[in-house]
Structure 1
Amino acid sequence: MSINRVTISGNLTRDADLRSTQGGMAIMGFGVAVNDRRKNQQTGEWEDYPNFVDCTMFGTRAEKLQPYMTKGTKVAIEGKLRYSSWEHEGQRRSKLEVIVDEIEFMSSRQQDAPQQYAPQGYQNPPAVPQQPRQAPAPAPQAYAPQAAPQPVVAAAPQQASLYDEEIPF
């Protein structure tokens, strides 16, 4: 038995690119920078070393999320690893990428970005524009003299001592 799951969070290294297969399925590619902290042996200081991870998302979700996937956006993704190898100009090439199943936006700088994608097949209800609310006009009332309201004086609550002898422990 093997488990192929990965969860990472980091910043997008570039704007996401969207392309499609001959069959019309959308494919969105993007990169995520994930920092690794290591102690420098010479200085004794902790330093961040970036790791760059290629990510791919498929389908309608890729089309809908692509406008929000801009360089520098902080995201958390969950998915599975996929290994690909090919030959280019006589050289053997390979890469390990994350096939994204879930994505959550963690940046606060994009106010209109969704916080989490909707599962496939889920239709978000259309947004209804909010109309500014107006206070209702006061209804006309007949004038009737009333007595002035009396101030309410509340008595201070009695505080029991923490060291009461009635505490059973």
Structure 2
Amino acid sequence: MINRVVLVGRLTRDPELRYTPSGVAVATFTLAVNRQFNNAQGERDADFINIVAWRQLAELCANYLKKGSQAGLEGRLQTRSYDNKEGKRVFVTEVVADNVQFLSPAGERREGSGSGGGYSNPPAGRRQDDFMNNDPFANDSRTVDISDDDLPF
């Protein structure tokens, strides 16, 4: 089965960062994604899609994104339901983000955002720092030994 979502849009509000009782960070925000066609009035409509990010990715989104920031993300579609205060069943559809790219220029992001870039939740058992700070090709002038058998084409 495949459940992958790729979106590019702008945040409609600042991300809301909260923590679960066990201390896990969760950020929620809405992404406005323009449609590819014009409506009857000749204007472009947009879809407003709820996004959820967890753990360090949630903290990064809360620290570096703000209302109006452009972001690209990859994740999975999730539906859930709960009973509201009136006892009525409410269904929610949202995208759980696995990878977020900060697409706005650094000056348009929150202060202290640094160079930005993309961040994702690391695979189980790996730390986020392993992916953000350990570029295997950074400042390396060595040649890469690849034979023709290693190439996929």
TM-score with structure 1 setting the length:
0.65
Amino acid at match of 2:10: N
Distance of aligned partners of 1:64 and 1:57 in 2 relative to their CA distance in 1, 3 Å threshold: same
8 Å Cα contact 1:68/1:113 also seen in 2: no
Q: What is residue 135 of structure 1 aligned with on the other side?
A: none
The structural deviation recorded for 1:67 is 1.4
Distance in 2 (alpha carbons) for counterparts of 1:36 and 1:51: 7
The structural deviation recorded for 1:118 is 5.7
Q: Given the alignment, which residue of 102, 118, 133 partners 2:99?
A: 102
Distance in 1 (alpha carbons) for counterparts of 2:60 and 2:38: 41
Identical pairs, percent:
32
- 5+ residue gaps, structure 1, are 126-169
Q: What is residue 143 of structure 1 aligned with on the other side?
A: none
Q: What is residue 53 of structure 1 aligned with on the other side?
A: 49
Equivalent residue pairs, number: 121
Q: What are the superposed Cα offsets for residues 76-119 of structure 1, whole Å, 9 maximum, x if unpaired?
A: 00000110111211322111100000000111133735111165
Q: What are the superposed Cα offsets for residues 3-24 of structure 1, whole Å, 9 maximum, x if unpaired?
A: 1000000000110011111111
8 Å Cα contact 1:81/1:97 also seen in 2: yes
- 5+ residue gaps, structure 2, are 134-153
Distance of aligned partners of 1:118 and 1:92 in 2 relative to their CA distance in 1, 3 Å threshold: closer
Question: Which has more helix, going by share of residues?
Answer: 2
Distance of aligned partners of 1:90 and 1:65 in 2 relative to their CA distance in 1, 3 Å threshold: closer
Question: Which has more strand, going by share of residues?
Answer: 2
RMSD: 1.9
The structural deviation recorded for 1:64 is 3.1
Amino acid at match of 1:85: S
For the pair shown, which has the larger CA radius of gyration, 1 or 2? Answer: 1
TM-score with structure 2 setting the length:
0.71
